[in-house]
Copies of this chain bind each other. A is one copy, B any other.
Amino acid sequence: MTAPNSPANTRRPLGVAMIGYAFMGKAHSNAWRNVTAYFDVPAFEQKVLVGRDAAGVAEAAAKYGWAESSTDWRAVIERDDIDIVDICAPGWMHAEIAIAALQAGKHVLVEKPLANTLAEAEAMAAAAQAARANGVQSMIGFNYRRVPALALARELIAEGRVGTVRQVRAAYLQDWLVDETAPMSWRLNKETAGSGALGDIASHTIDQVLFLLADQVTEVSGRLHTFVGRRPGASGPASGMEEVTVDDAAWATLSLASGAIASVEVSRVATGQKNSLKLEVYGDKGAILFDLENLNELRFLDATAPVREQGFRRILVNEPEHPYLAAWWPQGHIIGWEHTFTHEIRDFLTAISTSTPPSPSFEDGLEVQRILTAVEESAAAKSSIIHMAGARVVQPTALTAISEGA
């Protein structure tokens, strides 16, 4: 049933183009660069990175592992060697690019939110539906569905481990707008951003409610508020104050078709909460708690266990039995642990380039070995204290402040 020109039929590696190279482009590039090292996926090539600034996009392409760069997304999506288009451009560009790419027969991944307006979103969904009939796939990047702990939460809920869900508490709290002197930006302007915390982080939050419960929203009560209504212009205080036209915070209650009720609260002025997506699901047989600031952990309470031993258990989602985890590291070496080595290589390379002895040195390693040997000797002598003769004079290199690595 797949159309003859479907890229899924090709035997050559899939060609990937990515549009946009800011925050999301950097994050998506990381994924394209590494996915093959961990997972068994179809062969592909990071063909081309697209951006508006020729020099900027060329530099980014080099850093992020793309073979070429371009400033013309329209030309790129027409290329025969491109099978996949990954859209990391701002929200107002999503609809035009995505629809054009789908119509060109390219598989499309687009960052969330789908679009800045409902009309654009509807057009995109229609285009996706039409393309799907031709074997052209599309996906929206609600990436938190792929947090292993949340994937596990979804599994547990789907298996009935929390029973019938009644109440959900969902919040996404950030604090990057606490400072009222922080300047105006396109993210605070309704025309460019669509909305504030609502579209940016309530979208993730609401998607999680839908994802975890596999349910539909039937009723909504909402509230929006802007705590800091005026901010200095982007050029600083001297440029005068400008009006913030999007929300700093939003609140809602959602009725779900199943009878559950979810509360949603999001904020960009929740001081001290850096990126805290909190999800609480209460069913009649159990409950689940999650906080993105500890993204490797899920808390689960089984209310069918004997009362005496009930309690929220902290599951460190890091076992081969957990979603996605078999691909990664041994037990307890959480995802992200690997970048201790990235930092190490960074400092090692920097030391080489500056002809500075890096730290820790082999002598540092020897010192540890001497102590381990002393532990063994003491253990063999009924734990009697061993004096370490001739303790090494620590080389200055051993004291190299790690902060220089910052």
Of the candidate stretches A47-55, A231-239, A314-322, the one touching chain B is A314-322
Is B295 a contact partner of A294 (Cβ separation < 8 A)? no
Q: Which 10 A-B pairs have the closest CB atoms?
A: A336-B336, A275-B332, A274-B332, A114-B365, A222-B375, A313-B313, A146-B343, A311-B313, A128-B362, A140-B365
Distance A316 CA – B273 CA, assembled complex (angstroms): 10
User: Would you call A69 an interface residue if the criterion is a C-beta within 8 Å of the partner chain's C-beta atoms?
Assistant: no
Which residues from B are CB-within-8-Å of A366?
114, 121-122, 124-125
> Could you tell me if B333 and A275 are in contact, using CB atoms closer than 8 angstroms?
yes
Residue pairs across A and B with Cβ atoms less than 8 A apart, 25 shown, are A34-B339, A38-B342, A39-B346, A41-B346, A124-B362, A138-B361, A140-B361, A141-B341, A142-B365, A151-B403, A176-B331, A195-B372, A198-B375, A216-B367, A217-B371, A217-B374, A219-B386, A251-B261, A269-B282, A270-B280, A272-B287, A272-B301, A311-B314, A324-B406, A334-B336
A284 to chain B, nearest CB (A): 6
Give Cα distance in the complex from A195 to B377, angstroms: 13
Cβ-based interface call for A92 (8 A)? no
Determine the distance from Cα of A59 to Cα of B158 in the docked complex, in whole angstroms. 38
Of residues 1 through 38 on chain A, the ones whose CB sits less than 8 Å from some CB of chain B are: 2, 6-8, 14, 23, 26-38
Task: Mark A292-335 against chain B: 1 for CB-CB distance below 8 A, else 0.
Answer: 11111011111100111111111110110111111001111111
Cα–Cα, bound, A263→B263 (Å): 10
Residues of B within 8 A of A387 (CB): 218-219
Q: Would B372 and A203 count as touching, CB distance under 8 A?
A: yes
Given A23-B330, A272-B312, answer yes or no on A154-B402 (Cβ-Cβ < 8 Å).
Answer: yes
- Given A217-B371, A270-B287, 14 extra CB contacts under 8 A: A35-B345, A124-B365, A139-B361, A144-B340, A174-B332, A217-B367, A222-B386, A249-B261, A263-B265, A271-B286, A300-B311, A301-B313, A307-B319, A311-B313
Contact call B26/A375, Cβ cutoff below 8 A: no
- Determine if A359 is an interface residue (Cβ-Cβ < 8 Å): yes
Q: Is A240 an interface residue (CB 8 A)?
A: no
Most B CB contacts (10 A, CB to CB) among A124, A203, A308, A325 go to A308
- Secondary structure of the A side of the interface? mixed
Interface centre among A37, A292, A329, A347 (most CB of B within 10 A): A37
Q: Is the CB of B217 within 8 A of A152?
A: no
What sequence of 0s and 1s flags, for each residue 174-203 of chain A, a beta carbon within 8 Å of any chain B beta carbon? 111011100000000000000100110011
Q: Which of B32, B110, B344, B363 makes the CB contact (< 8 A) with A345?
A: B32
- CA distance in complex: A16, B78 (Å): 38
Determine if B139 and A360 form an interchain contact, defined as CB atoms under 8 angstroms apart.
yes
Contact between A376 and B221, CB atoms less than 8 A apart: no
- Asked if B308 contacts A359 (CB within 8 A), the reply is no
Q: A166-B227, A341-B143, A399-B214 are in contact. Are A384 and B386 (CB under 8 A)?
A: no
